Structure 1
Amino acid sequence: MLSFRRCVVRVVVGAAVVSSASLGSGAVVGAAPLSSCGQARQDVAISSSVPLLDWSENFGIDAQGDLWVSRVMRGEVQRYDREGRLTATVAVPSPGAVRLGPDGLLYVVTGNSPLAGSGGIVRFDPAAANPNPVAFAIGFPQPNGAAFDADGYLYVTTANGLHRLRRDGSEDMDWWTAVSVDGPNGVAVSGDSVYVTANFVGAGGPVGRVLRLSRTHPGAATTLADLTSVGTLPDFVDDLVVRDGVLYVTTLAGHLVRVDPNTGAACTIVSTQPLTAVVADPADPSALLAGSEEGTVLRIRPVG
């Protein structure tokens, strides 16, 4: 999430994160937030041309298996084929999450910046020769994460909470009235469960929280896991994905954390540079793709 709140957290945890140049390996100072799941393998799937300017805020996969990366600082989403070659660029102001809709179109959050004013969601045909983004929904303050459920509802995290949109772009106001989530960031849906990463939860509350809501009864959000890094220093959680019944969560301190959705048990897959987003790798069933603030997209293969 690229936001004012994230900038604040960066200042707070800045002492815990150092550059790869100062460490020689891109490691993060201090212990991992939780016990280690085992030594994961990682390599570079897509390199960054210009660090930070290429900030890979989020990404999604189209029906052809191509990866679309949100370059939030550049104001565009970029398409890469399975060999990591750049094949298309579409202008989208301050893009966030990219998700494949049930209609085969790509839905992209726009306005994911404190300077963008009101934001929304645009959509376009990823197979078109020259994709043309058109508005799907507007009027949301700094939208960031997004996820579709099995019925075609689109869940969107914004600066004022979690919204649910119908297929025509209208908002489900019954959902909005029932749900209450402070500081939502990433969102993923599996079955009846809606998983949300949240930071600055309540007055003086913790950052780094993973919540679960019910699609059918969203009134009560339950805490699945609280993730912390060095000692009592909180770690800002960003995006998450469900793969093979397991949650994977990215954090500002550079951790990819695996969370058991049944028990809340969590462990660290890998510690690396600050991570922004995670998706299942369409080209490798054993791997995940993780975005970073530096701009590199990493391929990470968890153990077990």
Structure 2
Amino acid sequence: MRRLRRPGSLLWPAALIALAGTAPVATADPAAAQPIASCAPALAATAVPAGIPMLDWSENVGYDVAGNLWVSRVYRNVVQRYDRSGALTATVPVDFPGAVRSGPDGLLYVVYGDTPTSLVSPGGVVRFDPTAADPKPEVFVSGVRTMPNGAAFDEDGYLYLGASLSGVIRVRPDGTIDTAWTDQAPKGSANGVVVRDRTLYVTTNGGPLGRILRIPIDAPGDVSVVADVSSPVAGVPDFTDDLIIDSAGILYVTTVFGQLVRVDPATGAACAVLSGEPMTSVVATPGQPDQLIAGTEGGAVLRIQLPR
């Protein structure tokens, strides 16, 4: 997620802090205030280097059906396609791009307007053919004034947007917003979104920072807390960004303190498998579930080998 101040300052936007009063009421684990524990370490290497650090901020990462990697360069207002060798093969203009997700129709869906200025110039979602030599984006969703960021599709083709200034938004397969569902979902900050077994897992940073929520798709008002992620510093919460869920149902969450945190949704147990530079996003490498790709605030894209 993009912040209003330089990322290293850890000064959060006033708008997000104010949302603490509107976040869902739920009970968190008191142990969350303790520094997060370490577990079996992962290994990280640079998959795609940053051209200009910070300017090349890699806000989100995702794969298309052909196995090409797409990276949202939020400060450059583009998404970029890289082939399996890491070569840049296409650049598509998208205003302040966020999540990059392959849709059930094989098209690539990209959130746009991931900026506080979406209050004035609304965001939404564009889509395009990711295999085209020169992809042309078309608007799929528009009019989202609450800083859309994360995204995930469910098995029925509904798209869920994590909006930093309002919560989770559900989009029907025809591109219209399901206001009845959205009105029932928790309000406040929402960032990364993943779906498994008719359940959404959402990172939030409104009250408190670093919270992961569980939202049943069929009962969006029945929200519960999975875990509160702490930083390596005692008493200091982390800022959770994107997340994925693996085939075993384990979450991997990226944070501003540079942690890749493993979370078991069944117990809330969390530990850091990697610590380093601030990470913005994460996706599994196709066909290699124990290998992840992560975006960073500096702009480099990391290849992460999970412990076996």
TM-score for both structures, normalised by structure 2: 0.88
User: 1:246: how far off?
Assistant: 1.0
Q: Which residue of 2 aligns with 1:279?
A: 283
Match of 2:162 among 154, 157, 160: 157
Alignment correspondent of 1:25: none
Deviations 1:152-182 (A, max 9, x none): 0000011212100011101112211211132
For residue 120 of structure 1, what is the aligned residue in structure 2? 124
Residue 283 of structure 1, CA deviation: 5.9
* Partner of residue 4, structure 2: 4
TM-score by length of 1: 0.89
Aligned Cα RMSD in Å? 1.7
Aligned: 1:216 with 2:218: yes
Give the direction of change, closer, same or farther, for the CA distance of 1:293–1:8 in structure 2 (3 Å limit): closer
Shift of the alpha carbon at 1:9? 7.3
- C-alpha distance in 2 between matches for 1:189 and 1:90: 27
Write out aligned runs for 1:98-137 (5 A).
Answer: 98-116=100-118, 117-137=121-141
Q: Percent identical across equivalent pairs? A: 52
Q: Is the Cα contact below 8 Å between 1:150 and 1:191 reproduced in 2?
A: no
2:5 and 2:11 in contact (8 A); partners too:
no
> One-letter code of the match for 1:66?
N
From 288, 294, 307, give the equivalent of 1:303. 307
Note if 1:241 corresponds to 2:244: yes
Choose from 46, 56, 77 the match for 2:58: 56
- Which residue of the partner structure matches residue 22 of structure 1? none
Q: Matched residue pairs, number?
A: 281
C-alpha contact (below 8 Å) 2:61/2:294 kept by paired residues: no
Deviations 1:222-251 (A, max 9, x none): 000001111111110000001122100000
- What is aligned with 1:263? 267
Helix, strand or coil at the partner of 1:50:
coil
1:123 and 1:70 map into 2 onto residues whose CA distance is 13
The answer as to 2:77 corresponding to 1:71 is no
Larger displacement relative to structure 2 (1-10 or 192-201): 1-10
- Report the 3-state secondary structure (helix = DSSP H, G, I; strand = E; otherwise coil) of the residue aligned with 1:285: strand
For 2:44 and 2:262, the matched residues in 1 are separated by: 15
Instruction: Name the SS of the counterpart of 2:234 in structure 1.
Output: coil
Letter in 2 for 1:168: D
Q: Work out whether residues 57 and 276 of structure 1, in 8 Å CA contact, stay in contact via their aligned partners in 2.
A: yes
Aligned equivalents of 2:170, 2:58: Cα separation in 1: 25
| Structure 1 runs not aligned, ≥5 long | 13-31
Deviation per CA, 1:67-103: give whole Å up to 9, x if none: 1000000000000111111111101010000000111
Consecutive unaligned residues in structure 2, runs of 5 or more: 13-33
Provide the rounded CA distance (Å) in 2 between the counterparts of 1:246 and 1:6.
31
Quote the Cα distance in structure 1 between the aligned partners of 2:58 and 2:272: 21
